[in-house]
A and B are shown apart, each in its own frame.
Chain A
């Protein structure tokens, strides 16, 4: 029992550090800049990063299972491209487009998962190829960006839901709903337990009789579906489909997951950490935007440095407890 209690304490401590960091950054911003701590700025953090949150949720599952998915940014772009093309050129009704895009994303992820599992390939290289494939397919559809003017999409994208005196976008709401679902999936379902077990040790998970193959394929399918959903949110946000959308977003998603306290070796961490990770990244960007004198490349440097600190701290903690 004691061991389990210790483990619990340790698991929440890495995530707690992130929450403290987030609070410190927000307070710093509030102290230095007027109007930083207003409700709408906080809500905008969610609105502007809704798609990143959705992607990070999917990435969280993949990393918990001990893998990595580098194709998410490209799948997001492909989803924006396909939905724009289906709406503007093929004139499909919007609900059908949404269903088709989500299914395609899940199928794309599932196919990569099947390759990884059946041929025992490294997730890294398979999803890398998936990234090339998805970006290439974007350009096959169109090199130019396609503007979306479907009435339903326009209406949804301009929807502002009142929330405690401020407003929140539909995308942010969907992202939060997705997060709630993912937390249930990870911590209260058999699937989630299998993901943690596989990330901890795939061999023993198989010996315990857990469906390793099915779970791994489903994890990548889930990540693909998340990326496609993020693509839909992104096309709502930008009202266009473009092959260069979300370039390098897979790195942001990985950074968010790691900063959220999930170990990249798998089997350790919280899905909820994705939210704090995404908010930290968003706050860095907001701080830099509020400052006005710092240039955009500072975002990269700070994210890289944070990533470094978290990885090293996690590593040192891992050494100590072993």
Chain B
């Protein structure tokens, strides 16, 4: 028996379907869709292949489990990625992150072993990071050097300075309160998580509720036009590099506190690359202008989850680098305009 639908019903249903499709399209088109989908896919693989991956248990009042472990280990990378996001958003790049990590960790560890008060040591370490940021910022914003060159000088020399301070030794810390930052627990959760949340939250607030986000975006899209429009580009770019260095400094404190020592030679080695990778994975455009803070943090989580997955699947850890490289290639190609053109052209033909 054929049921004839009333025209009004058909209209309403079509409209509903259209709205539904639009909602899906807008969700698919959302900048965070791809990173979240990638993370979800990774977690799904973990769910299927690693027994007990999502199990969380409380021991001695602390939360334990793979997820907590991943988030805890990703914390320094997330911090570095937050700073890197702003730098990349202004069309810059900061490849001195690893050197700043080594420097701030070394300064803090040395002062703490020299029985300086802990807060003072932390402030001094962040001060060293601040100086690094000022150095980068002045070179880029005031002297107009290319960001990659300006930060390259610090990348080469920074580790050298850290080694000079520590006299080439690995500084081991025995001051227990120092360990709290990297491996302590607050309310059952790793303390590093709160640091990341605080830094991320404050940055997001600054970007959303002041004109800072808008200005950074404007500088990233067109530095000359935004200067002519009255934005103080020099001060803004300077701020961005200082901010990135401070984030890297905090990451350095976290890393050195977690391993209870500071190794000027190896701390944060290649962290700048991972941070850039996290930012790219999160959907921030390397051409500047389009950036997402949440995306970068998800990007950092993707990297750490990937590492964790590779380790726990028993795949040789060396594969990690190959996988990362292939992921970067794919993400870059999918981000490029050329890819969009060929895809659209193919669809139309």
Contact = CB atoms under 8 A, between A and B. Distances in A.
B338 A118 contact: yes
Nearest to A112: B329
A42 interface: no
Output the residue of B154, B280, B325, B339 with the most chain A CB within 10 A: B325
B123 interface: no
Interface in B164-190: 164, 167-168
A126 B332 CA distance: 8
B322 A128 contact: no
Nearest to A111: B329
A132 B324 contact: yes
B152 A301 contact: no
Contact of B325 (A133, A258, A299): A133
B210 interface: no
B145 A307 contact: no
A123 to B, nearest CB: 10
A308 interface: yes
Contacts of B321: 132-133, 135-136, 139
A interface majority secondary structure = helix
A308 B325 contact: no
A129 B160 contact: no
B319 interface: yes
A295 interface: yes
A251 B156 CA distance: 8
B157 A264 contact: no
Interface in B308-331: 316, 318-326, 328-329
Contacts of A136: 318-325
A115 interface: yes
Interface string B26-49: 000000000000000000000000
Contacts of B323: 136
B156 A255 contact: yes
Interface string A296-307: 111111011101
Most buried by A among B157, B276, B337: B157
Contacts of A254: 152
Instruction: Kindly state the interface size class of chain B when it binds its partner.
Output: 35 or more
A251 B152 contact: yes
B332 A304 contact: no
B280 A125 contact: yes
B332 A121 contact: yes
Given A115-B329, A125-B280, A132-B328, A300 B149 contact: no
B326 A133 contact: yes
B66 interface: no
B325 A132 contact: yes
Interface in B289-316: 316
Nearest to A135: B321
Interface string B105-149: 000000000000000000000000000000000010001111011
B276 A303 contact: no
Contacts of B148: 68, 124, 264
A133 to B, nearest CB: 4
Interface string A134-161: 0111011001000000000000000000
Contacts of A308: 139, 153, 157
B160 A120 contact: no
A312 interface: yes
Given A120-B337, A132-B273, A143 B318 contact: yes
B286 interface: yes
B81 interface: no
A190 B155 CA distance: 36
Contacts of A126: 329, 332
Given A129-B332, A303-B156, A297 B146 contact: no
Given A128-B273, A304-B156, A295 B168 contact: yes
Nearest to A309: B153
A187 interface: no
A307 B325 contact: no
Contact of B149 (A133, A143, A311): A311
B336 interface: yes
Given A132-B273, A132-B322, A311 B150 contact: yes
B93 A121 contact: no
A315 B153 CA distance: 14
A119 interface: yes
B328 A264 contact: no
Nearest to A124: B148
B332 A125 contact: yes
Nearest to A303: B156
A129 B143 CA distance: 29
- Name which of B156, B157, B164 has the most chain A CB atoms within 10 A of its CB: B156
A13 interface: no
B168 A297 contact: yes
Contacts of A319: 144
A265 interface: yes
Contacts of B146: 264-265
Contact of B145 (A133, A255, A304, A315): A315
Contacts of B93: 124
B333 interface: yes
A12 interface: no
Interface of B: 93, 139, 143-146, 148-150, 152-161, 163-164, 167-168, 273, 276, 280, 286-287, 316, 318-326, 328-329, 332-333, 336-339
Given A68-B148, A304-B158, 18 more contacts: A119-B332, A119-B336, A125-B328, A129-B324, A129-B328, A132-B328, A136-B321, A264-B149, A295-B167, A297-B159, A298-B164, A299-B160, A300-B157, A304-B153, A304-B155, A307-B157, A311-B149, A312-B143
13 contacts: A120-B337, A125-B280, A125-B328, A136-B323, A139-B321, A254-B152, A255-B156, A300-B163, A304-B158, A305-B153, A311-B139, A312-B143, A315-B144
